[in-house]
């Protein structure tokens, strides 16, 4: 029996969490998800109440149809991949994490997923695989990722999406920026070539291809491409700047 009142969420004692877990809804727009995320994974921060919530999230993912698993899988993966989650906690939940990853991968095979669902499910797999840059993957949906030049440590904005494909060290508005250095995309047709996609990039790209999302395919190719720092002119793989 979990004594929720002795655990903490983002707002204090976690008394409200069990009722939220009992009200989980397959609709990702349901208010319960906003409330639950804000309590047990507020802006990526986890609490003592976060880990006891994991079995309920897994049960929901098990019981719902593949396209409906996005929210429980994403929330659980984000908790497990948090920098605050220590090695002991990860070891304790290793079997749960493995099943979550399997459910996320299975859901990605469902037809007619939205782009947001594809990205969030792919991100869950990346997080559970321990990819160091995975926490930023869903920011492809907004078109901006944070970065830092691996050579000179200048803070950068990596723009990938509807406003273009470039790196800048200044504020920008809708792609207009005098200090924008273009991103050269990787070549998904040559995964074994140094300029091509590595295995994880090929997996992401093929996933977008399976859902006929050519735009997402282009975003992924640029994420695994090469950029240049507008401040020092150093060149590097985009993921090195994003990971930094």
Identify whether residues 204 and 120 lie together within a single domain. Answer: no
Q: What is the mean pLDDT of the chain?
A: 93
Q: Percentage of residues in the chain with pLDDT exceeding 90? A: 88
Question: Could you give the CA distance from residue 225 to residue 236 in angstroms, rounded to a whole number?
Answer: 9
Identify whether residues 87 and 145 lie together within a single domain. Answer: no
11-57, pLDDT tens digit by residue? 999 999 999 999 999 999 999 999 999 999 999 999 999 999 999 99
Last residue of a domain, one of 108, 130, 152: 130
Number of domains observed in the structure of the chain? 2
Residue 241 burial (C-beta neighbours within 10 Å; 0-12, 13-18, 19+) = buried
Q: Is 15 left (phi over 0), alpha (psi -120 to 50) or beta?
A: alpha
168: Cα separation from own chain's centroid:
22
- 147 is written with which tokens? 């970065």
Identify whether residues 145 and 181 lie together within a single domain. Answer: yes
Identify whether residues 217 and 189 lie together within a single domain. Answer: yes
Q: Percentage of residues in the chain with pLDDT exceeding 70? A: 95
Residues of the chain with pLDDT under 50: 194
Question: Could you give the CA distance from residue 209 to residue 206 in angstroms, rounded to a whole number?
Answer: 5
- Taking residue 219's Cβ as centre, other Cβ atoms within 10 Å add up to 24
Identify whether residues 171 and 236 lie together within a single domain. Answer: yes
- Give the domain extent around 171: 139-243
* Confidence at residue 162, expressed as pLDDT on a 0 to 100 scale: 87
Last residue of a domain, one of 102, 130, 158: 130
Last residue of a domain, one of 105, 130, 155: 130
* Confidence at residue 194, expressed as pLDDT on a 0 to 100 scale: 47
Identify whether residues 146 and 199 lie together within a single domain. Answer: yes
Identify whether residues 122 and 144 lie together within a single domain. Answer: no
Identify whether residues 214 and 232 lie together within a single domain. Answer: yes
Question: Quick one: which of 68, 34, 39, 70 has its CA closest to 53?
Answer: 39
Question: Quick one: which of 150, 153, 67 has its CA closest to 108?
Answer: 67
Identify whether residues 169 and 207 lie together within a single domain. Answer: yes
Identify whether residues 114 and 14 lie together within a single domain. Answer: yes
Identify whether residues 195 and 227 lie together within a single domain. Answer: yes
* Confidence at residue 59, expressed as pLDDT on a 0 to 100 scale: 98
Identify whether residues 107 and 202 lie together within a single domain. Answer: no
């Amino acid at each position: 029996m979990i004594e929720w009142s002795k655990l903490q969420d983002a707002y204090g004692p976690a008394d409200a969490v069990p009722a939220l877990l009992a009200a989980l809804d397959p609709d990702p727009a349901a208010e319960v998800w906003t409330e639950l995320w804000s309590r047990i994974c507020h802006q990526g921060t986890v609490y003592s109440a976060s880990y006891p919530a994991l079995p309920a999230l897994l049960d929901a993912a098990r019981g719902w149809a593949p396209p409906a698993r996005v929210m429980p899988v994403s929330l659980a993966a984000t908790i497990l991949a948090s920098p605050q989650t220590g090695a002991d906690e990860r070891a304790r939940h290793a079997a749960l994490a493995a099943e979550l990853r399997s459910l996320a991968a299975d859901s990605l095979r469902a037809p007619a997923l939205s782009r947001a669902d594809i990205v969030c499910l792919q991100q869950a797999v990346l997080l559970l695989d321990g990819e160091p840059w995975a926490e930023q993957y869903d920011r492809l949906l907004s078109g901006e990722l944070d970065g830092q030049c691996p050579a000179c440590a200048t803070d950068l904005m990596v723009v990938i999406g509807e406003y273009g494909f470039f790196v800048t060290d200044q504020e920008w508005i809708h792609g207009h920026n005098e200090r924008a250095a273009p991103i050269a995309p990787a070549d998904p047709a040559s995964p074994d070539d140094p300029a091509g996609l590595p295995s994880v990039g090929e997996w992401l790209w093929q996933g977008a291809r399976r859902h006929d999302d050519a735009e997402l395919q282009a975003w992924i190719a640029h994420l695994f491409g090469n950029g240049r720092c507008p401040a020092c002119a150093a060149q590097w793989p985009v993921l090195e700047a994003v990971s930094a």
